[in-house]
Each structure stands twice: as C-alpha cells, then as structure tokens.
Amino acid sequence: MDTFKLAWRNVWRNPRRSGVTIGATALALFCVIFYAGLMNGNLAGMERSVVELELGDAQIFAEGYRKRPSLYTVIDDPLEVTRFAS
C-alpha cells in the first residue's frame, strides 16, 4: 500500500487527536514567527537608537584628544571634516 495513503488514513482515524495536534503545531509555529519578528524589530530599533542618538558608525576625534581626553578639546572646523563624509 502507498505510504502517503496509509498516513492520510491514519490521520483521520482519530480526528480529535489530529485536530489537537495540528492546532498545537500551528499555534507553536505562530508563536515562533511572532517572537522572531518581535526580536528582529527590537534589535533594529536598538541599533537605530544607538546610531541616531549616541556615537554613530564612526568617531572623529580632535587632534590630541586620545592622549589627553577632555570635554574642552574640540575640532577647529567641523564643517571641513564632515564635508567629505556626505
């Protein structure tokens, strides 16, 4: 006898059990897909927040800042430095 035909007949031998199994599998699949989408959105939002609000993709320091960090060490002409970035 064909294996697929035998399996199909066995699925409908006990329809309540089959329905519960199919429903539980569908619910679990929905939860996994929903959670994966939620996590991807969360990670994308955190990355966007860090890039927009914090450091960004690159850091440019004033000359001598790395040797002696200070809030008062500034870049003399920031427009000149950022002109090449765009």
pLDDT beyond 60 at 56: no
Which pLDDT value is given to residue 79?
83
Which pLDDT value is given to residue 66?
82
Query: Do residues 60 and 75 lie in contact, with contact meaning Cβ atoms separated by under 8 Å?
Result: yes
Q: Name the domain count of the chain.
A: 1
User: Is the pTM for the entire model greater than 0.75?
Assistant: no
Which pLDDT value is given to residue 55?
62
CA angle 58, 60, 64 (to 5 degrees): 145
Confidence of residue 57 (pLDDT cuts 50, 70, 90): low
The residue segments making up the domain with residue 63 are 3-82
Q: Cβ contacts of residue 64 below 8 Å, gap of 6+?
A: 73
The whole-number average pLDDT for the span 33-60 is 83
In the numeric block, which tokens belong to residue 82? 């950022």
Which pLDDT value is given to residue 31?
98
Residue type present at position 18? S
